[in-house]
């Protein structure tokens, strides 16, 4: 049992009862003979009040001087006002009998939480291309302008920024995605693993890797758990998943790339065809979205209030589009797409719009990508060797998952590594693991922050990482 009640536990049925709670001072109003405090506890707000009829004037003055964001302990009586309480999520009120300032905030905040909580209809205005704290919009009647707080100002003061209700909600929904990812997979016989992040070579190839000194040898920060999740399958765990950090030396500033993100990875053996894995992953996403809508409604609404977005639509019969068909669809709509090259961001978005119109869904799959566009470990399509048994999943026309059936023949794997410019010796343990009998297997990697961003229609991925890393940001 907790010493202090949580706001959600104080209900109108408790009218007249004495309660004790601890919360932040969100705002103080009232002149002369009355003080009204709006208290805040994560993204709930509740009004507390005090009148000179009931308490000494000194107590009123003391209360009025408590700086915003301080943590106070309050003892008082529950009241249910006749009129709705404006600007509070909770519709009961506390008549204060006693108040203690447990820990004071500095009175000057580097980030004004009211400004940072303003409704933002065009999220690109937060991009720091505009001067920070630029005043936009028409002057309102009362002379107050709507202020947009720049993303850099927010991130420089992230611990205050995270107190903004929408940000509270975003990070809680992030936890929800991990919770339901884990829940679904555990219920389907997957084993959770933790693979090393300090590794001897690259796991995805390419130059997007952080290199470091490891007691005199070269080491890399893992670009993915790819090689290890496959080795776990071969070690007879058969179905595995991991939630862990992924490092990419991605030297560019975009609204959807981070240098460190959270990978939701899974890998499994299959019976006959890699579509078994594709279908399981589709069903898993359906489960995650359904449970989020059910259990995180309050949080979704809190984001909606500050960053209005169109509700994400998931249809259980997820459209699966063959890569070459996607090229045809794009061609018919008047866009060029080379059938042997990867889809670019623009074409992905165009495809997303066309699919949305035709199937009324924000979620779809493209499969059978050209070998040129996929990593060395992707299984070549036996019927069409220029293509692979691979797939990407999309939300609102943006990639959120990449995956494939994997090559489980050591010779073929070494050959493909060489084709892709990777020295087989640098990944010898991985190649060798397929020499002692291996199940056919497939899997995928999901970017947590991307799923979060696209589910909630958030423009900048930095909002979806608690302490984001990009080429210009290593603090806080």
Output 342 or 432, the one with its CB closest to ligand AMO. Answer: 342
Q: List the single partner that 115 binds among ligand AMO, ligand ATP, none, CB under 5 to 8 Å by kind.
A: none
Nearest residue to ligand AMO, using CB? 447
- Write each residue from 127 to 156 as x if it is in contact with ligand ATP (CB under 6 A), else as -, in one continuous string: ------------------------------
Active site residues: 248, 250, 256-257, 399, 402, 450
Question: What torsion, rounded to 10 degrees, do the Cα atoms 97, 103, 108, 112 define?
Answer: -80
DSSP E strand stretches across 208-346? 211-214, 217-221, 239-247, 260-269, 320-322
Taking the complex as a whole, the smallest distance from the CB of residue 356 to ligand AMO amounts, in Å, to 19
**Is 17 one of the binding residues for ligand ATP (CB under 6 A)?**
no
Number of residues that bind ligand AMO (CB under 6 A): 22
> Cβ contacts of residue 351 below 8 Å, gap of 6+?
321, 326, 329, 330, 343, 366, 394, 397
Q: List the single partner that 312 binds among ligand ATP, ligand AMO, none, CB under 5 to 8 Å by kind.
A: none
**Is 257 one of the binding residues for ligand ATP (CB under 6 A)?**
yes
| Residue selected from 344, 423, 425, 429 as contacting ligand ATP according to rule CB under 6 A | 344
Output 255 or 339, the one with its CB closest to ligand AMO. Answer: 255
Taking the complex as a whole, the smallest distance from the CB of residue 254 to ligand ATP amounts, in Å, to 4
Taking the complex as a whole, the smallest distance from the CB of residue 196 to ligand ATP amounts, in Å, to 21
Maximum pairwise Cα distance, the chain: 87
- Write each residue from 212 to 251 as x if it is in contact with ligand AMO (CB under 6 A), else as -, in one continuous string: ------------x-x---------------------x-x-
Output 252 or 317, the one with its CB closest to ligand ATP. Answer: 252
Stretch that binds ligand ATP, among 9-17, 36-44, 341-349, 416-424 (CB under 6 A): 341-349
**Is 348 one of the binding residues for ligand AMO (CB under 6 A)?**
no
Stretch that binds ligand AMO, among 177-185, 213-221, 412-420, 447-455 (CB under 6 A): 447-455
Taking the complex as a whole, the smallest distance from the CB of residue 204 to ligand AMO amounts, in Å, to 5
Applying the rule CB under 6 A, the residues between 235 and 254 that interact with ligand ATP are: 250, 252, 254
Q: List the single partner that 254 binds among ligand ATP, ligand AMO, none, CB under 5 to 8 Å by kind.
A: ligand ATP
- 457 touches 310 (CB < 8 A): yes
């Amino acid at each position: 049992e907790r010493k202090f009640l949580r706001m959600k536990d104080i209900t109108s049925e408790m009218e007249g009862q004495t309660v004790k709670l601890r919360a932040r001072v969100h705002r103080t109003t009232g002149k002369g003979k009355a003080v009204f405090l709006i208290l805040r506890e994560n993204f709930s707000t509740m009004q507390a009040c005090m009148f000179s009829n009931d308490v000494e004037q000194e107590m009123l003055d003391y209360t009025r001087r408590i700086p915003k964001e301080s943590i106070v302990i309050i003892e008082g009586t529950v009241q249910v006002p006749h009129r709705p309480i404006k600007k509070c999520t909770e519709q009961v009120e506390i008549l204060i009998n006693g108040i203690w300032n447990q820990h004071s905030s500095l009175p000057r905040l580097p980030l004004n939480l009211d400004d940072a909580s303003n409704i933002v209809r065009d999220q690109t205005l937060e991009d720091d291309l505009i001067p920070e704290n630029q005043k936009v919009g028409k002057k309102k009647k009362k002379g107050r302008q709507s202020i947009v707080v720049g993303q850099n100002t927010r991130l420089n003061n992230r611990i205050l920024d995270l107190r903004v209700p929408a940000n509270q909600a975003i990070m809680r929904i992030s936890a929800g995605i991990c919770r339901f990812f884990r829940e679904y997979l555990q219920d389907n016989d997957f084993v959770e693993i933790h693979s090393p992040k300090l590794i001897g070579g690259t796991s995805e190839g390419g130059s997007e890797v952080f290199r470091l000194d490891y007691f005199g040898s070269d080491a890399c920060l893992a670009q993915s758990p790819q090689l290890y999740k496959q080795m776990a399958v071969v070690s007879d765990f058969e179905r595995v998943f991991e939630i862990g950090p992924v490092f990419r030396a991605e030297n560019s500033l975009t609204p959807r790339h981070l240098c460190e993100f959270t990978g939701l990875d899974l890998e499994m053996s299959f019976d006959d065809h890699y579509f078994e894995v594709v279908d399981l992953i589709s069903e898993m996403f359906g489960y995650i979205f359904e449970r989020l809508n059910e259990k995180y409604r309050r949080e979704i609404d809190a984001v909606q209030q500050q960053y209005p977005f169109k509700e994400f639509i998931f249809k259980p019969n997820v459209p699966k589009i063959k890569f070459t068909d996607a090229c045809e669809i794009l061609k018919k709509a008047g866009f060029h797409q080379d059938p042997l090259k990867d889809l670019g961001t623009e074409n992905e978005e165009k495809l997303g719009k066309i699919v949305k119109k035709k199937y009324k869904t924000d979620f779809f799959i493209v499969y059978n990508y050209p070998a040129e566009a996929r990593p060395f470990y992707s299984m070549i399509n036996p019927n069409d060797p220029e293509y692979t048994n691979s797939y990407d999943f999309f939300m609102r026309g943006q990639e959120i998952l990449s995956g494939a059936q994997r090559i489980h023949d050591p010779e073929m794997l070494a050959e493909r590594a060489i084709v892709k410019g990777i020295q087989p010796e640098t990944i010898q343990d991985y190649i060798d693991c397929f020499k002692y009998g291996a199940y056919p297997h497939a899997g995928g990697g999901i970017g947590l922050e991307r799923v979060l961003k696209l589910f909630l229609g958030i423009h900048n991925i930095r909002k979806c990482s608690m302490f984001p890393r990009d080429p210009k940001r290593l603090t806080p």
